[in-house]
Amino acid sequence: HCAPEGILLHNTEEAVVRLITNMDPLTVSLAAIGVTVVGLFLFKGEKSRFPAASKPYGVFDSEGVLWNRASVGKHHATLPGMLTAYDVMIDTCKRYGPKKTAGKRKLVKRHWVEHNGKPVEKLQLADEYDWMTYTDFGKMAHELGAGMTALADLKANDCIIIYAETAREWFLACQGAFTQGLTVVTIYATLGEEGFTHGAAQTKAQLVVADAKLLKVLGTVFKSKHPQLSALKKVVYIPDEPLTPDPVVAKQINDAVESITAAGIEVLTLSELAAKGAASGLLARPPKPEDLAIIMYTSGTTGMPKGVKISHSNVVATVTGLSDKMPTFSITGEGETYLAYLPLAHIMEIAAEIMCYSIGFQVGYGSPHTLTPTGVKIQPGTCLGDAQALKPTLMVFAPAVLDKVYVGLNMKMKAASPLVQKLFAWGMAAGEARYEQGLVGSSWLYDKIVFKKVQALLGGRVKACITGSAPLSPGVQKFVQIAFNAPVRQGYGLTETCASSCIGEAVDNSTGIVGPPTTSTSIKLRNWEEGGYLLKDKDDPAIGMPRGEVLIGGPMVCQGYLVDPADPDPDVVAKNASEFVTGADGVRYFCTGDIGQISPNGCVQIIDRKKDLVKLQQGEYVALSKVENVLKNCSLVEIPMVYAESTFDYCVALICPSHAGLKDLAKTLGLPADDVSALCENEQVVKEVSKQCLAACKGKLVGFEIPRKIALIAETFTPENEMLTSAFKLKRKPAATKHKAEIDKLYGRS
């Protein structure tokens, strides 16, 4: 009775595990029912773990503009005394000087494993993070910035490119550029030679910071002697530094460096650049709020990527809105940990990291491929996953990652013993009951007995999960929130609005919403007559909410798309004129093309997309992304692509199935399960997957929206095969072109 809480919990947990293990199934069932009933009684009066928030969360002003209830009529645009991203870094390093941040895991050893006759790289990483202090971080950033200026004779507002995967060095190079008033050009590592050449030529960048593994791409680019790259004369690379050097990788790097230098380009390592900066004696050259901080190339779903111009004031406004949001999740800064693993070439990750640094987080770097111990890049049995090693309190996810978590855990449960399956199902049921009460997680017993190991995959300390870049299905949101005992909330924003413009409230368990605007944002809707989405829909009893195209306004709306004055792209010029507008209130708005509705609680829900709407032969409109989001609820579906043509009265779907799920299905059907391609062609398999897709759609879609026929695609859509953008958004046109034969067959064309 008087034991310390931790010892009491630990001993109780062990005792319960032993007790359950020795029970017969009937006794376990009765005990679980009893625990669930008692649990329902106990949490009936339980309060949320988060600060109370008054409804409505968003408030309309007299002009019909939606605001966060904490900032009605006035955007929160700056942090105290901070007008630029450089100001934020300087203030942060002064306030948190000796505290640890910017952690990375050292590469202990590379392993080469044969897969389909080819060597595949697997990594063994240190289980402990290697940290810097905030003071050392600021010092290194200033040295790198001075080194850039000294190396390439750069002037204020000149451009440098960062062409690398997410890493501590990426962010240091970015902050270094800001210390000299330079503009950072971000190019996704997956865009390849064409994407890099396009961005470098358009921005006239003079220096590039690159991953060692991307030097080969640069070697090919420089070998072509593209005349528009004449300004680019310096390459700085982030060296490969394993504790056990790998001769194969060392040779690849040396060969690439020789190829680049042969083209007349000077090559340095990042540490050599810092040393050059330290010796230069150059002082900081702070940027102005209106200066461009970033030109971010969006990995567009069609055509060449566009460069989005983001000013320092845009960045600070976004960071302000995010900082205002964190206390509502009981996240205060010091003592918090953030796992940085999403692409820094995406504004969502840059904004999240600057915000985390600004309030004193320990930021640790990782990769999607090493996130858990079963990550595709980790040598099995050699080390922890990034999340286990770091134990983050805040995580940001792309919905595709959580979809895989959902499918993976369900697959494991199907393979588990009947007892474990029952406990998991009961734990989920208890969690769903709590979810409906506005609470987080499952009951105490299930959380300790059933979900503890699941939570350990992410380190066991996660306080909040934020998703962005695509919609998250209600089923996945509930499942992950219960299993990980942390609120899962959707955010919404675009590169053009400098990331998150809306985030769900910590206390609001509603699904399908992206929450109210942040304090730096205002939102209004405008009628879309063609699609039938109107502001007056709020007066329709069947709808009860205003609907229309979402326009996002505020100081975080970017400066438009980059246009080359010497060779203006008429399409980009037209987009600048049509997509960026100034309202009667003087606020700059971005016209998103997304269709939204606003709930009585002042929360935004994205319900459609203008460009995803296809008119069928009989005049009905099918919202492709809406159907895809429903199909994702089928456990056999990993990535769906719905396709429709106006000359037919039905839509079809290309389904990239879950390979693990497909193999399990094959075993159930008594078929050989080792060849996924063969399974995708098997009529019996296609029929069963189609049946399960139909079941997922029933009750959620009307008849004409449900795909009449499907084709299974063995090669999963990825950014690497150019079927997805680097933000994991579907590239419809390339996917439809590549799989034209399958689409023709679905429509009965020869």
Q: How far is CA 135 from the centre of its chain?
A: 29
Taking the C-alpha atoms of residue 444 and residue 464, their distance in angstroms, rounded to an integer, is 19
Task: Look at the block and give the residue holding tokens 């709930």.
Answer: 599
Compute the half-sphere exposure of residue 572: CA atoms within 13 Å on the CB side of its CA. 19
Q: Is the pLDDT of residue 688 over 80?
A: yes
Q: 616-746 has which CATH code?
A: 3.30.300.30
Taking the C-alpha atoms of residue 649 and residue 572, their distance in angstroms, rounded to an integer, is 34
Q: Are 383 and 124 in contact (CB under 8 A)?
A: yes
Q: How many CB atoms are closer than 10 A to CB 7?
A: 9
Q: Which residues, in sequence order, are CB contacts of 210 under 8 Å at separation 6+?
A: 162, 163, 164, 218, 235, 236, 237, 238
Provide the whole-model pTM.
0.85
Pairing of strands 604-609, 588-598: antiparallel
Q: What is the pLDDT of residues 247-304, one digit of tens each?
A: 888 898 999 999 999 999 999 999 999 999 999 999 999 999 999 999 999 865 556 7
Query: What is the reported pLDDT for 2?
Result: 35
Q: Which residues, in sequence order, are CB contacts of 449 under 8 Å at separation 6+?
A: 13, 16, 17, 20, 423, 427
Q: What is the pLDDT of residues 122-150, one digit of tens each?
A: 999 999 999 999 999 999 999 999 999 99
Of 25-29, 242-246, 400-404, the one with minimum mean pLDDT is 25-29
Q: What is the mean pLDDT of the chain?
A: 90
- Tokens linked to 297: 């190339």
Candidates 176, 166, 121; CA nearest to 143 is 176
The reply to whether 616-746 shares the fold of 85-297+330-358 is no
Per CATH, the homologous superfamily of domain 85-297+330-358 is: ANL, N-terminal domain (3.40.50.12780)
- Tokens linked to 591: 């016209």
Candidates 109, 27, 734; CA nearest to 419 is 27
Task: Look at the block and give the residue holding tokens 């017993």.
Answer: 445
Q: How many CB atoms are closer than 10 A to CB 515?
A: 27
Q: Are 344 and 170 in contact (CB under 8 A)?
A: yes
Q: Is the pLDDT of residue 196 over 50?
A: yes
Q: What is the pLDDT of residues 37-71, one digit of tens each?
A: 544 444 555 667 787 777 899 999 999 999 999 99
Domain boundaries, the chain: 85-297+330-358, 616-746
Q: How far is CA 690 from the centre of its chain?
A: 29
Which helix (DSSP H) or strand (DSSP E) does residue 231 occupy? none
Compute the half-sphere exposure of residue 631: CA atoms within 13 Å on the CB side of its CA. 29
Q: Looking at per-residue confidence, does 308 or 615 come out higher?
A: 308
Region of 621 (left: φ > 0; alpha: ψ -120 to 50; beta: rest) is: beta
User: Residue 12 — very low, low, confident or very high, per pLDDT cuts 50/70/90?
Assistant: very low
